[in-house]
Structure 1
């Protein structure tokens, strides 16, 4: 019976599980650091760079030592256990960092360099130790496997393929299954348990009694193979038409390491650009990001399997095979912009109108059609280099460790260069063409060294092609990374490091579009955008210091300057949006970008608030798309707890929600989560539109009734008319009040949304697709009307503690607002006959002689003015 050490399938299985756990760690680490340091592209890139730097250094270090251990497999097991142990420290370190981060940030003074150093120090202590240990797993396993089974190239490529396949499975599980099933903390512990299992199994295998005999027998066979290899090298005919195995010694020099470095650089840079391109056509939820990453890793795994098959063919000269692979890489990178346009029908939204699983299928097919074959070609280059290194006078672990280090360093630099330099300077299309030139130049280098008979013709041709390739941007009709609607005209566009942001004009109004399909607001909704500030500040007695999570066009934050504020702090995660708003929306932003009371940070809003030591009277969280990755973090209990600690006595936190993008389940979860933190949560309407209503959940630092006198004073301030009658102002503002969420108990059964179990983050994308397919309804029209009716029925104005200071006449204004909305809904549905009752009720309860209309509501209530 062969010993377990001679059963590679068992060892491959362990290595697959090791790759699975590693990607689960990586996905969760990036998320946790995003919560701590901010969800910006820089913070994510910093985490990725430090993680892979640890992998690179660990690969080199453990590879150098791998042959010195009496059992490389046993040391592999020890390293896996140490990965689990160091990974466990994250539970203690993160809690400490969350407590210390505001103090540390205040200490560095907000200086960009010092802030970056602080974030890097935190990421290093969290990520580097386990990543350094992970980097040793491949060289240690290779050192053991190659000593048992013949061939560095065959075994090394197989290990690379298996481990990458495990990583793809881990990325898919971490994106789709584990957070919903276990929660993030339990998913993390599962990865720890898997590493402990792998380590224990590896150590157990080394205790098998037949190990020494198997090793001795293999050593004898290795000596025989060495003698045969030496004879083969001595008998090789170098003039017989190509480089065979005998010429491989020449390939242990500079060229191999250049190919390893720059292929890693270009491959990860292409992956970054692909991710940006897919952001233009997908939902951009945690699910779609996981799908794109998984398919890329699958392509790399298949590429490694192809490399293994190629290494088995000893008749083809390896340098020619490598030359073909590099030319294939150049073609894959350079053709990617046109392939993407073709595969998405000109940047059309993928899977429009499809339900959840049909949408996931459509995204998978589209991404596979665009990425899979090019990804396989790109993924074949690195593992095939093992064929070139097969005769290098070094141990298998050392060889693989060096290769991992060089390639990973190139990959880190490529990802950073593409994300923060190339895309911002060149755009996605030209960046891919430049990356194609990298592969062509590598092919020229390989041709120069490995093809002496063709070098005079081949190398100059490749160099000329590399120089000419970027000219395709000019010579061919290059696709623009924006799908322009027929009724829009483009004013400005920026492909930045964080997103593609465009300012377009539609029907005489300007709006901002992010990543092609997401609108951040515009001048066509001036009143609604200003109401997102006017209503919260009007209901607060003394709004002096205001904080904004999100900025968009700047119209909302600019409305705060109508009040006697002393400080306004705005945090917008996308610097491209800040620049677009400053350049193109200044006339509507009420001096936001020039007022000395205003400070604008291009940072993650949650992070800005968490690290701040200031206190605010009002904190306003903008309208966000609930299903976008990262948005769910702004609805969690932990975030609301931080917000509560940043409020002045009597302060309020305002969470704006687009009812046209949530179902009753997401709304109930957000409201229930706020109620678990704030003593009293109120519901205010931001507008009275039937088909695109927005509401504010207002969490109070302490339960207090509405100050009607201050509300009227603020109303006169907004109207810029001190002579307006009190009843008219009170009626105008109180019609936006919808009810008391806390007193009504309407959301008591909502799912609590936490950082560990982010219900909204994972439910909202599913709801969005079901709504598109007609399986679920948004909270608009009759659904919003039922919500408002239920709030009033559960706690009427007379019983509402928030309205305790109002007269009976003023309480009637609240009921009138309900009637106004019902009338608007019925008008939208074409039922003016039924709506007439609510029109009459509204006019009876208010001092209005006619239905008050805004510019946006004129069409809805057309035909009723004056009735």
Structure 2
């Protein structure tokens, strides 16, 4: 049969690009589960993947001319990608089992953990990535028969493959994992690659080979300036990769300040960026057809356009977001995504198109090269991808912390303008060219040092009298300490508050309640730190060791500098070890066992947070407990619906022998609750909170009934014994339900179409838990007397008192208050005051608690 038509091979290359981005998205996530969901781990995975692409482009490009049929070679490369990608299942499972042992071998060595992560990423990613890198040069060598077609057809292949990548990013971010699970989505990508490879082999088998080698293999009369021109092309290819990936990193950081930051919004920003690159390649394809205009003039115009447009993006971004206001607040899920897409397109599409035109248009400048088509394409991919690795790392880990996101964007824009000036100056000695070069350099300098004015990285709430105390634009996030109403708080990425001194007692409760119910808490692990107030409360007890893991190093440094007075010596006590690391990874690699593992409140819809509620993570926590140990998972009921709560409770119940529910407060509107898991089902000893309470107060004569009442009113029910959630779905690493459902719920609640698990809904849950199986039949309460059981009911009554009081139903509120008073051996504040909320300072109100951790929308 004749040589296959271009549309068919283009379709195969589209599918190849689709599968490649599905792989990349899933690889980054899976490696994040093993290496930690930190910016460093994600950058490492992407850098290794890009390094494989670069090596593959260079290696296979040089060998393309040796293949008898490049189409067959393309088919085998695709099959090879599928085969090596399958090895990821074996490698990741094996590594997960031996990781704690390997970490123990390198622990304490400078850079040992980083080398360990680097080794795994290379082992998993390099083999398939090296094969992927060869697909463009090999297929291009097959299709491009004439040197003059290198720009036109090469840019077309690049556009088709990038369009496939955009579609793959959309599918992997929005649909496939929820429909098929991550393993199913991965196997689908493997199947697609295998199908592409088999079709290519079938086409090659029926292909009529040309009588001679392709004309692109040898150029009869190369230009005398051929080599020097190629050097300029390779330089531009490196710069293009460096700036383009650096800009993508910075755009992603800008959008993190105003978006939900879920798996959906991150995917949407990536899809828009890839779409812009696709359109840029299409434009390059049209420009490559122009034969009457000097390529240097076109490239200079592209560089200047890219520089100017990138420089404008911070101004456009701030204008469209109203100065970093939350985008589309109050909109339901699908409308929210459309609004986000519209803003992303407005900010990124045109400048991204300019960025995306530069690389494929460089092929036009290589049409007079001596090298073969495959070698040229492979070298271009290698040089550009190497620049991309450098650009992402330097921009994200050096320039951004040093200069900030906005200034770094302006510096990268200035790089394009400086290169354009150099290209103009090298084009000849004409006055016009020299003047143009001088103007470009001048503009570049102005951009680099331009006053930012109102383009600040943080939005303060003037109505709340907020004042900036300190701020760090770090590689991981933009973190600030803010003063509000004489209290300090930590805010991350402009809209997410980790906690503060305004919720001091309630934050301490997150440590005090678990510490009070454990018989002898000596070794405690905290997953998440925030301000450090919660972890510091553990030091009020005679603990021997406290380990704290906080994913954001910027949070650790700011908490250390500004929250010492409220953390009970957390940052100075020799019993304390603080890790700036992903908590899940930190716990998994630990060889220690703990009496208590306390997992902090997290924003459920943020990308990566769902990993902290999975079956696999809970199993890891279970294995890190000592006999009689407790795993405590705090949940913000004002950020989960009953559906998400049921999934998390059911998942924990699948792992632990007994799971019970404790309240962190009695506040009806913005409550926190703790799921407490035990490996061996044991009843609560009522003497334990009495003994700990006396130690905590430094008063051994405190009445037992007082301490029992204070503690037991926070008990809410037995998840395991009730069986209420036996039919709920289980959240796993493969079926990440929380990751995909929580963002939808958040938007529907904001639009008034759904409800959080607060108020009367939470009250109904408490009633169901107390009735099933009933207080007298609750095995966790088997050692309690009738009077002590009455304290549990008193807590229920006080919660309902608050619910009805907020609803304006004063008579029903009064009845529940009477019941509370009748069962409680101490006085309470009058009804017009906030309900007592805490253990160590129960007389204080904590109305600020919910705001201390919810998005400021």
* TM-score (norm. length: structure 1): 0.94
Structure 1 distance, partners of 2:446, 2:164, is 40
Q: Over the residues paired in the alignment, what is the CA RMSD in angstroms?
A: 1.7
Task: Check whether the contact 2:242–2:388 (CA below 8 A) recurs between aligned residues.
Answer: yes
Task: Check whether the contact 2:647–2:728 (CA below 8 A) recurs between aligned residues.
Answer: yes
Instruction: Report how far residue 856 of structure 1 moved.
Output: 5.5
Structure 1 distance, partners of 2:525, 2:216, is 70
Q: Does 1:211 align with 2:208?
A: yes
Change (3 A) 1:517 1:248: farther
Which of 509, 526, 530 is equivalent to 1:531?
Answer: 509
Change (3 A) 1:651 1:485: same
CA deviation string 1:700-737 (max 9, x = no partner): 12100011111111122233322210001100110000
Instruction: Report how far residue 746 of structure 1 moved.
Output: 1.2
Q: Which residue of 2 aligns with 1:625?
A: 603
Task: Check whether the contact 2:147–2:367 (CA below 8 A) recurs between aligned residues.
Answer: no
In the TM superposition, what are the counterparts of 1:9-408 in structure 2 within 5 Å? 9-147=7-145, 151-208=149-206, 211-212=208-209, 215-216=210-211, 249=226, 252-408=229-385
Q: Which residue of 1 aligns with 2:712?
A: 734
Structure 1 distance, partners of 2:447, 2:823, is 72
Is the partner of 2:144 in helix, strand or coil?
helix
Is the partner of 2:93 in helix, strand or coil?
helix
In the TM superposition, what are the counterparts of 1:712-791 in structure 2 within 5 Å? 712-791=690-769
Structure 1 distance, partners of 2:388, 2:843, is 53
Paired residue total: 835
Task: Check whether the contact 2:147–2:368 (CA below 8 A) recurs between aligned residues.
Answer: no
In the TM superposition, what are the counterparts of 1:290-689 in structure 2 within 5 Å? 290-453=267-430, 454-472=432-450, 474=451, 477-486=453-462, 487=464, 488-689=466-667
Structure 2 distance, partners of 1:842, 1:451, is 90
CA deviation string 1:601-658 (max 9, x = no partner): 0000000000000000000000000000000000000000000000000001000000
Task: Check whether the contact 2:400–2:473 (CA below 8 A) recurs between aligned residues.
Answer: yes
Structure 1 distance, partners of 2:779, 2:147, is 78
Instruction: Report how far residue 381 of structure 1 moved.
Output: 0.5
Is the partner of 2:655 in helix, strand or coil?
coil
Is the partner of 2:644 in helix, strand or coil?
helix
Task: Check whether the contact 2:77–2:135 (CA below 8 A) recurs between aligned residues.
Answer: yes
Give ranges in structure 1 of 5+ residues lacking alignment: 234-245, 861-867
Instruction: Report how far residue 250 of structure 1 moved.
Output: 6.5
Q: Which residue of 2 aligns with 1:863?
A: none
Change (3 A) 1:149 1:84: farther
Structure 2 distance, partners of 1:222, 1:419, is 40
Task: Check whether the contact 2:506–2:846 (CA below 8 A) recurs between aligned residues.
Answer: no
Which of 782, 789, 805 is equivalent to 2:783?
Answer: 805
Task: Check whether the contact 2:219–2:370 (CA below 8 A) recurs between aligned residues.
Answer: no
Q: Which residue of 2 aligns with 1:237?
A: none
Change (3 A) 1:564 1:730: same
Instruction: Report how far residue 258 of structure 1 moved.
Output: 1.1
Q: Which residue of 2 aligns with 1:846?
A: 824
Change (3 A) 1:267 1:26: same
Task: Check whether the contact 2:615–2:655 (CA below 8 A) recurs between aligned residues.
Answer: yes
Instruction: Report how far residue 256 of structure 1 moved.
Output: 1.2
Task: Check whether the contact 2:216–2:372 (CA below 8 A) recurs between aligned residues.
Answer: no
CA deviation string 1:344-367 (max 9, x = no partner): 111111110000100010010010
Change (3 A) 1:552 1:226: closer
Is the partner of 1:129 in helix, strand or coil?
helix
Instruction: Report how far residue 445 of structure 1 moved.
Output: 2.0
Structure 1 distance, partners of 2:481, 2:773, is 44
Structure 2 distance, partners of 1:778, 1:478, is 36
Structure 2 distance, partners of 1:530, 1:296, is 43
Change (3 A) 1:858 1:23: closer
Task: Check whether the contact 2:637–2:756 (CA below 8 A) recurs between aligned residues.
Answer: yes
Instruction: Report how far residue 749 of structure 1 moved.
Output: 1.7
Instruction: Report how far residue 692 of structure 1 moved.
Output: 0.5
Q: Which residue of 2 aligns with 1:864?
A: none
Structure 2 distance, partners of 1:380, 1:247, is 27
Instruction: Report how far residue 320 of structure 1 moved.
Output: 0.3
Task: Check whether the contact 2:505–2:846 (CA below 8 A) recurs between aligned residues.
Answer: no
Instruction: Report how far residue 478 of structure 1 moved.
Output: 4.6
Change (3 A) 1:218 1:86: closer
Task: Check whether the contact 1:248–1:390 (CA below 8 A) recurs between aligned residues.
Answer: no
Task: Check whether the contact 2:252–2:269 (CA below 8 A) recurs between aligned residues.
Answer: yes
Structure 2 distance, partners of 1:564, 1:614, is 19
Is the partner of 1:253 in helix, strand or coil?
helix
Give ranges in structure 2 of 5+ residues lacking alignment: 830-834, 837-841, 849-857
Structure 1 distance, partners of 2:783, 2:338, is 56
Structure 2 distance, partners of 1:552, 1:312, is 57
Is the partner of 1:511 in helix, strand or coil?
strand
Is the partner of 2:631 in helix, strand or coil?
strand
Is the partner of 2:578 in helix, strand or coil?
strand
Structure 2 distance, partners of 1:30, 1:366, is 26
Structure 2 distance, partners of 1:800, 1:501, is 44
Structure 1 distance, partners of 2:329, 2:756, is 17
Is the partner of 1:721 in helix, strand or coil?
coil
Structure 2 distance, partners of 1:330, 1:856, is 56
Task: Check whether the contact 2:633–2:676 (CA below 8 A) recurs between aligned residues.
Answer: yes
CA deviation string 1:658-713 (max 9, x = no partner): 00000010000000000000000000000111110000000012100011111111
Instruction: Report how far residue 833 of structure 1 moved.
Output: 1.7
Change (3 A) 1:820 1:247: farther
Change (3 A) 1:248 1:17: farther
CA deviation string 1:295-353 (max 9, x = no partner): 10010010000000001111111100000000011112222211210121111111100
Is the partner of 2:526 in helix, strand or coil?
strand
Structure 2 distance, partners of 1:850, 1:425, is 53
Structure 2 distance, partners of 1:265, 1:533, is 46
Task: Check whether the contact 2:424–2:434 (CA below 8 A) recurs between aligned residues.
Answer: no
Q: Which residue of 1 aligns with 2:853?
A: none
Is the partner of 1:798 in helix, strand or coil?
helix
